Structure 1
Amino acid sequence: MLVIPAIDLKDGACVRLLQGRMEDATVFSDDPLATASRWVEEGCRRLHLVDLNGAFEGKPVNHDAITSIANAYPKLPIQIGGGIRDLKTIEAYLSAGVSYAIIGTQAVVDPDFVTQACKEFAGHIIVGLDAKDGWVATDGWAKTSDVKATDLAKRFRDDGVESIVYTDIARDGMMQGVNIEQTAAMADVGIPVIASGGVSHINDIQAILNRQHRGIVGAISGRAIYEDKLNLRDAQQLCDEFR
């Protein structure tokens, strides 16, 4: 399992939000490339980037920062989400050196777009599903739909998505631990899952490993690694040594 550092970009800076609220942002760095370098030096094997402005505006905003990271580390797999609404945006990111495009809101409002993207860019598409108590959340997490996250995930089972980033929005940025039950339920769908939301301590990594669900292939951490409550190198070593 991979421990994946998150770099959330807002107005060109690295921030973390509490439960997705743009007005409740903590700025950790005004240099995204330096932040990426820090995680690379600590041994990360993949980076998770989010264009927060893009997510709210529906189009890429922090493209320059994202491109600078991809150019600096061409061999490092990078996944990017936020504001990806069309194939042109995906193509631009992949051409810039990003490895995976995460389709979030558009996967909810137009599931056929995921099918189309997977055909066009096979092996490079991730679906991002955000949920509260197992139900899909939309509109910047302001609304909870009547669609179960696992049911929507089944819609993509035969499309060839690389993985699903599953975020429990009630835990995101709250340092309360991972919702392992819901994450495991998502992995049962049959698509590899990257856990997101609530990874706050190495015990959370151990708890995911103890579940021994091979469908959970990664865990994203943001606030915890920025605040030194989770050591990235130690967490990845724990994953590597777990049997």
Structure 2
Amino acid sequence: MITASARNNAEWCDAMCRAHGTPGVFGERAWTSERRTPPLYPDAVTLSPYATAREVLDEIDREAPGCSVKDSFGRLDLSADGFEVLFEARWIHRPATLAAPVAPDDVHWRPVRSARGLAAWEEAWSGGDESLAGLFRPELLADRATTVLAGTTDDGARTVAGAVVSRSDSVIGVSNVFAADDDLDRAWSGCLATVARLWPGLPLVGYEHGDALDAASRQGCVPGATLQVWLAS
């Protein structure tokens, strides 16, 4: 399941990069980008536990500030190459056979279909952080494997929660789950209920840490192995 999760996550990172006009490259054991990726997104993602530091580092830009590597299997040691661990997280999965949570009835979850809706989603997701403005570009809406989900109130006028869904052949990836009021349990239940309704029959995967991991676990997501994100120091 970790291999499928890592591939799914790399495909989402590549979708984000393609929306910014800088697609990466899928190798046998790693996805890499020779150009600096958008903020918060890694320059490489390992796809195999046998990926080596050289296979990853030789294919990315280590000169520009902000170089980062997501080691999906937590096996690399990049400290000798000038990197330090930015954070650790755990992969999660939720079996397709598990009953979907009951979504809160006061929040309507649906796919974002317009550039205006995506801008509203991003504003809610970022909490108004201007440094992240324009990160989620309208080109994402044309990506057939990517769906941005918004939880709205007031007849769709206000975005209060959301997530990004990345579809692969064998799994559904979920990332960027947020709640404007910080109630992540409600956000996860609404997201999972929507995923089960729109894409039934596939297991859900992703990764989380901290309070987000706790909330996902309470909604039936099973924590798995640890991954690490390394940042050039």
Q: TM-score, normalised by structure 2?
A: 0.31
* Greater helix fraction, Structure 1 or Structure 2: 1
Q: Which has the higher contact order (CA 8 A, sep 6+)?
A: 2
Q: TM-score, normalised by structure 1?
A: 0.30
Q: For the pair shown, which has the larger CA radius of gyration, 1 or 2?
A: 2
